[in-house]
Amino acid sequence: INNAGTGGGHQPNSIQGIQYTFDVNFVAHFLLTRLLLPRLAANPRGARVVNLSSVTHRMARYLWDTYAAGATDDFFAGYADSKQAANLFTLELNRRLKDTNVVAFSANPGACTSRIWRGWTEPVSDSFQAQIGKFVMTNILFPFFL
């Protein structure tokens, strides 16, 4: 289960120039999964890769153009992009591993209590959560009922 992540705060970019949140939430999961794939594929009982995602993936920009042009310090954009990257990675894993006993899933746990907000002041985390709530209501739930 690729679950480790960060939700924000302004952090320095990695040595490779990758935005911190994107690096932690996606690149680390990609590299770990890549290292583990031979062992997962060798398991005769099968194996699963679960990538944690978020509804914020719908707010992602065009990832590769953004990162090819240089990292941004916009933590929210990095978060949304990292969740979209997790979803795209899941699709590609399934395509590449279709003839094996390894299956990949992308899971959105919804709103839940976690330590992702650690290091944030309460007004900032409340504001961020309110933005996500407004996005969900406006773009996902409301159109569903029309």
pLDDT at 55: 72
Give the tens place of pLDDT for each residue, 10-27: 666 767 767 777 888 888
Active site residues: 79
- Rounded CA separation 145/33 (Å): 38
Is 9 among the domain residues?
no
CATH code where residue 78 lies: 3.40.50.720
Is residue 104 over pLDDT 50?
yes
User: What is the Cβ-side half-sphere exposure of residue 6, based on CA atoms within 13 angstroms?
Assistant: 17
Structural domain for 104, as ranges: 20-112
Give the mean model confidence (pLDDT) for residues 116-125: 57
Residue 117 resides in a domain: no
Residue 49 within any structural domain of the chain: yes
Q: Is residue 123 part of a domain?
A: no
Q: Does 133 reside within a domain? A: no
The model's pTM is 0.70
Kindly report the CA angle at 85 between 84 and 87, in degrees rounded to 5?
65
pLDDT grade for 47, boundaries at 50, 70 and 90: very high
How many domains in the chain? 1
Query: In this structure, is residue 122 part of a structural domain?
Result: no
Burial of 12 (0-12, 13-18, 19+ CB in 10 A): exposed
